[in-house]
Amino acid sequence: MTRGTPLFLATRVAAAVLLGASALGALTVASVMLTPKTQALAEADQLIGKAHQLADQGQPEAAFAAIEEALRIAPGYAQVHWERAMQLMAWRRLDEAIGELRLVVAQRPGDAGAAGALGEALAAAGASEEAVKWLGASARRDRANGVTWAKLAIEQARLGDTKAALESAHRAVKLAPMVPLAQYSLGYARQRAGDTAGAAAALAQALKLDPNDVNTLVSLAALSRTEGRLEESAAYLLRTVEAAPTNAAAWVLLGGTLLELGRNDAAAQAFTRALALDPDNATARKGLGLAARAAPGP
């Protein structure tokens, strides 16, 4: 029973009457419970609702301003920190988002969603070891969540723990066979374990479920390249940049593959696109130089 709810207040009234106090006195005692902390939380919740409306209207900056106001009114309120973290993650301000999510999990130690979100943010920041810790905690708290098991498998595979990764990925596929991420996690885990044929089968299934999934396309391109099928690899990477034209890393991969194929002009164009998106990308700049010095190709 939550303090400040009608049920809570009614219970306090009933208890006071039984003890011989007046109902009015009981309400006076109970009303104290509404201020000042409960009032601050109520105002913060209203601002969170306003932020959601603004976000739905395509005004993320105004929505974030409402969240900041909620934080000023109710500092330390876990829900405000959660909302703030979600927007920061959308803006790829990962360090700040991770800080907010650490506050949330400290207040909600048994919350599978909070643990999973922290793990996901850490994974996006490249902190796979700690990501495994929090994704694992989330998966154990919500064992039926196939997506969480898939995310855990991917990070375990990145750390080289292919045995654990395969176990998590198989669980993900069992729980969520029609979710592309689950099939991708199995393909990626098998790829890291050196099972090329098994990886290709799982990745093909993931691509069937989502033909434009960037991670799946890149993994298939890597498999094709490993087996010397550069034309096929380039085809997968062309599909990747079509699906994600603002992904600088994908343009770099495409440029490198085209350079190996001797398509120097096309490679130069790919590296140029990458640099337009990420001017500080050293690999793209180096690739552009190699393409410029090489003989013109088709």
Q: Do 260 and 296 fall within a single domain?
A: yes
Is 38 a domain residue?
no
Average pLDDT, the chain: 88
Among 189, 210, 231, the domain boundary falls at 210
On whether both 216 and 297 belong to a single domain, the answer is yes
Distant-in-sequence, close-in-space partners of 137: CB < 8 Å, separation ≥ 6: 112, 115, 119
pLDDT at 145 over 90: yes
Q: Is residue 99 part of a domain?
A: yes
Regarding whether 285 and 229 lie in a shared domain, the answer is: yes
Q: Which domain holds residue 222?
A: 212-298
Residue 194 placed within a domain: yes
* Residue 256 banded pLDDT, cuts 50, 70, 90: very high
6 within some domain: no
The reply to whether 114 and 150 lie within a common domain is no
Residue 159: pLDDT above 50? yes
What mean pLDDT is predicted for residues 118-130? 96
* Residue 151 lies inside a defined structural domain of this protein: yes
96 has pLDDT over 80: yes
What would the mean pLDDT of 142-156 be, rounded to a whole number?
97
Q: Are residues 241 and 290 in the same domain?
A: yes
Give yes or no: residues 122 and 89 share one domain.
Answer: yes
What is the percent of the chain where pLDDT is above 90?
Answer: 84
pLDDT tens, position by position, 177-235: 999 999 999 999 999 999 999 999 999 999 999 999 999 999 999 999 999 999 999 99
Show which of 163, 194, 210 is a domain's final residue: 210
Structure token digits, residue 289? 């130089």
pLDDT of residue 15: 32
Q: Which two tokens stand for residue 127?
A: 């902190």
28 domain-assigned? no
Tokens 């498999």 belong to residue: 223
- CATH number of the domain that 149 lies in? 1.25.40.10
Q: What percent of the chain is predicted at pLDDT more than 70?
A: 86
Looking at the 3D structure of the chain, how many domains does it have? 3
Asked if 225 and 182 sit in the same domain, the reply is no
- Which of 167, 190, 210 corresponds to the end of one domain? 210
Check residue 2 and give its pLDDT. 42
Q: What are phi and psi of 92, to 5 degrees?
A: 65, 25
Q: DSSP character for 295?
A: P
Please tell me whether residues 188 and 159 are part of one structural domain. yes
Please check whether residues 247 and 276 belong to one and the same domain: yes
191 with 129, same domain: the answer is: no
Instruction: Tell whether 167 is covered by a domain.
Output: yes
Largest CA distance in the chain: 98
Q: Give the C-alpha separation, 127 to 120, whole Å.
A: 10
pLDDT value of position 32 = 38
pTM of the shown model: 0.81
Residue 14 resides in a domain: no
* One domain, residues 180 and 224: no
Name the DSSP letter for residue 74.
Answer: S
- DSSP for 242-272 reads HH-TT-HHHHHHHHHHHHHTT-HHHHHHHHH
For residues 158 and 177, membership in a common domain is answered with: yes
Write the pLDDT tens digit of every residue in 54-89: 999 999 999 999 999 999 999 999 999 999 999 999
